[in-house]
Structure 1
Amino acid sequence: MKALIMAGGYATRLWPITKDNPKALLPLGNKTILEYILEKVKELDVDVYISTNRYFADKFKGFEVELIVEDTVHEEEKLGTIAALKNAYEVLGEDDYLVIAGDNVFSFSLRDFVERYNGKTLIAVYDVGDFELAKRYGVVVLEGNKVVDFEEKPAKPKTTLISTGVYLFPKRVMDLLDDYLKEGNKDSPGYFLQWLLKRGEEIVAYRFDDYWYDIGSADSYLEAMKTLLKESHIEEIQISPYAKIIPPVVIKRGTKILGRSIIGPYAYIGEECVIENSDISDSIIFPRTVIRNSTIWRSIIDEKCEIRNLELRKSLVGGHAKIQRGE
């Protein structure tokens, strides 16, 4: 068995913060999304690979994981998940494949997941508990642990059980990837699962509870941080005696917390930021950003920004932005 982490997308829904950084390497508490996934994979004694694109390949070189690089540098050129999976299969060779979406954060043990594998396609399923929310995903109908119906992004979901971004495909199914694509089908895992069911392939569900996040939007990114940030991580910083920190928070090296600032709860402050007389909570602030006399709530602010005299709520600010209101 081989483990393949899919990180070849350009994450346009999270632009501009993912314009120059792969989504899998976004900070999530004191780790990146990819580090959470790799910790899970380390439970298994398998070879691990990352599928990415040429534009982001260098970003992954600090990880001791072999890269499978698709030759794309723009969103318009990118392979879909199934085509990228086929590309990796051609490079790595025949085997069963544990496939994990590089933007998924989940609570279950991959060892437990793999132990449920019996040679049939295995998918991880989660109850989102809301029919409107289920419309965004592949909806699963089960009889016991057997998938009897699957519909990708249905207008009228039959259940609130959805397929997450963790799959275990046997070699027999991996051999079908080329046929699926040659038939002109949509380059998406959900539609591939539908196609497999119609061909009579049996699909087994591994159902789990607790938490799962598909980090495809600012809201899901911030919610994942709130779930996973259990304790504070504060590095070498300068902090005013009048400032207050409400845990849990992450504050990285070289940051200055000045004046009567309040940081937290659930705040990530990157390296070498300057925060002065400002309140920041439920937010992610990327490195070398300056925030003065402002209130930031449930927002994401990219690197090297300057924010002055503002109240920002549910905002996504691109890198190098300078925003201020007059004194």
Structure 2
Amino acid sequence: MKVLIMAGGYATRLWPITKGKPKPLLPVGNKYIIDYILEKTKDLGLEVYVSTNKFFERHFKEWAGKNGVELIVEETLSEEEKLGTIGAISYAISKLGLDDYLIIAGDNLFSFSLDEFLRRYKGNPLIAVYDVGDFELAKRYGVVVLEGDRVVDFQEKPLQPKSTLISTGVYALPKDIIEMIEGYLEEGNRDSPGYFIEWLLGKGVEVYAYKFDDYWYDIGSADSYLEAMKTLLKESHIEEIQISPYSKIIPPVVIKRGAKILGRSIVGPYAYIGENCIIENSDVSDSIIFGDTIVRGSTIWRSIIDEKCEIRNLELKKSLVGGHAKIQRGD
């Protein structure tokens, strides 16, 4: 078996934050999203590969080198050109060869052990499922109906979900199912894992589910990104910074090298402050601020601010600010 982490999407729902950086390399606490996934593969003793695209290849190269992971790079440079997830899996298989595969969406943060998941794998397709507990929320995902641990129905983004159990983007697929992918695509089917599972059920393939509790985050929105940070950031990570004696840090926070916390500022809880940021006479909580951004005389709450921005005299709540923006009110 091989492990294939899918990290080739362009994350349009999080634009402008992800317009120039891949979602799996967004920080959650002091690690990237993909680091949490990679850590869960360490005890499996399996080869790990990451599928991405030409546009984001340079972003992943240094990370892959440090972590001993091989990249599989599809030749696409934009959202319009990209292969879908199943197409990207097919491309990766053409490079890596037929095998059983553990396939993981690179923007998934989940609580369960992959080792435990694979102990439940008996040679039939196995998917990880989570109860979101809300029928309206379930409409956004692939909805699963079970009899015991066997999947008897699968609806991709249904208007009227039959349950609140959803597929989370973790799949163990045997070699004979991997061989069926090319035929699935040749038939002109939709290039999405959910529709592929639906298609398999229609072919009479037995698909099984591994149900887990605790937490699961699909980092597809600012809210889910910030909630993931609140769940996973357990302790503070503060590098070499400058801090005024009149400022206060409320843990847990991550404050990266070169940041300056000046004047009467309050940073935290649940704040990420990137390298060389300046926070002056401002309050920042439940927020992520990327590097080289200046915040003066402002209150930032449940917001994400990209790199090299300048925010002055503002109250930002539940906001998403793209890179290089300059926003101020008054003097």
TM-score by length of 1: 0.99
SS in 1 for 2:133: coil
Q: Which residue is equivalent to 2:187?
A: 183
- Offset, 1:43: 1.8
Determine whether 1:92 maps to 2:101. Answer: no
Matches within 5 A, 1:22-37: 22-37=22-37
SS at match of 1:268: strand
Question: Any residues of structure 2 matched to 1:199-238 within 5 Å, and which?
Answer: 199-238=203-242
Instruction: Give 1:238 shift.
Output: 0.5
Q: Which runs of 4+ in 1 moved over 3 A?
A: none
Partner of 2:108: 104
3-state SS of 2:197 partner: helix
Q: 1:143 aligns with which of 142, 147, 169?
A: 147
Which residue identity does 2:190 align to in structure 1? K
State the partner residue of 1:299: 303
Counterpart for residue 157 of structure 2: 153
Inter-partner Cα distance in structure 2 for 1:34 and 1:197 = 30
Counterparts of 1:6-85 in structure 2 under 5 Å? 6-62=6-62, 63=64, 64-85=68-89
- For normalisation by structure 2, the TM-score amounts to 0.98
Q: Which amino acid aligns with 1:6?
A: M
1:260 maps to 2:264:
yes
- Count of residues paired in the alignment: 327
What corresponds to 2:166 in structure 1?
A: 162
For structure 2, list consecutive stretches of 5 or more residues without a partner in the other structure: none
* Cα displacement (A) at 1:185: 0.6
- Give the corresponding residue for 2:2: 2
Query: Separation in 1 of the partners of 2:8 and 2:236?
Result: 31
Please report how far the alpha carbon of residue 106 of structure 1 lies from its aligned counterpart in structure 2 after TM superposition.
Answer: 0.4
Residue 201 of structure 1: SS of its match in structure 2?
A: coil
After alignment, is 58-67 or 6-15 more displaced? 58-67
**What residue is the counterpart of 1:315 in the other structure?**
319
Q: Which residue of 2 aligns with 1:283?
A: 287
Deviations 1:131-190 (A, max 9, x none): 000000000011110001110011111110000010000000000001101111100000
CA distance in 2, matches of 1:36, 1:261: 31
Q: Which residue of the other structure, out of 106, 110, 117, is the alignment partner of 1:113?
A: 117
Aligned to 1:43, the other structure's residue is in SS state: helix
SS in 2 for 1:119: coil
Which amino acid counterpart does residue 289 of structure 2 have in structure 1?
Answer: I
Separation (CA, whole Å) in 2 of partners of 1:239 and 1:86: 51
SS in 2 for 1:323: strand
Q: Which amino acid aligns with 2:250?
A: I
How far apart are the structure 2 equivalents of 1:240 and 1:287?
19
Counterpart Cα distance in 1 of 2:133 and 2:246: 44
Between 62-71 and 299-308, the greater mean CA deviation after superposition: 62-71
Q: Identify the residue that residue 329 of structure 2 maps to in structure 1.
A: 325
Aligned to 2:132: 128
Which residue number corresponds to residue 244 of structure 1?
Answer: 248
Task: Output the amino acid matched with 1:9.
Answer: G
Q: How far does residue 39 in structure 1 lie from its aligned partner after superposition?
A: 0.2
Cα RMSD for the two superposed structures: 0.5
Q: Secondary structure at the match of 2:44?
A: coil
Note the alpha carbon deviations across 1:234-264, whole angstroms, 9 max, x for none: 1110001110111111000110000110001
Give the fraction of aligned pairs with identical amino acids, expressed as a percent: 75
Q: Deviations over 1:49-69 (max 9, x none)?
A: 000000101111122211111
Q: Which secondary structure does the structure 2 equivalent of 1:139 belong to?
A: strand
Q: Deviations over 1:55-86 (max 9, x none)?
A: 10111112221111100001100000000000
- The alpha carbon displacement at 1:17 in A equals 1.0
CA distance in 2, matches of 1:60, 1:325: 38
1:37 aligned partner, one-letter code: I
Deviations 1:99-126 (A, max 9, x none): 0000000000000001110000000000
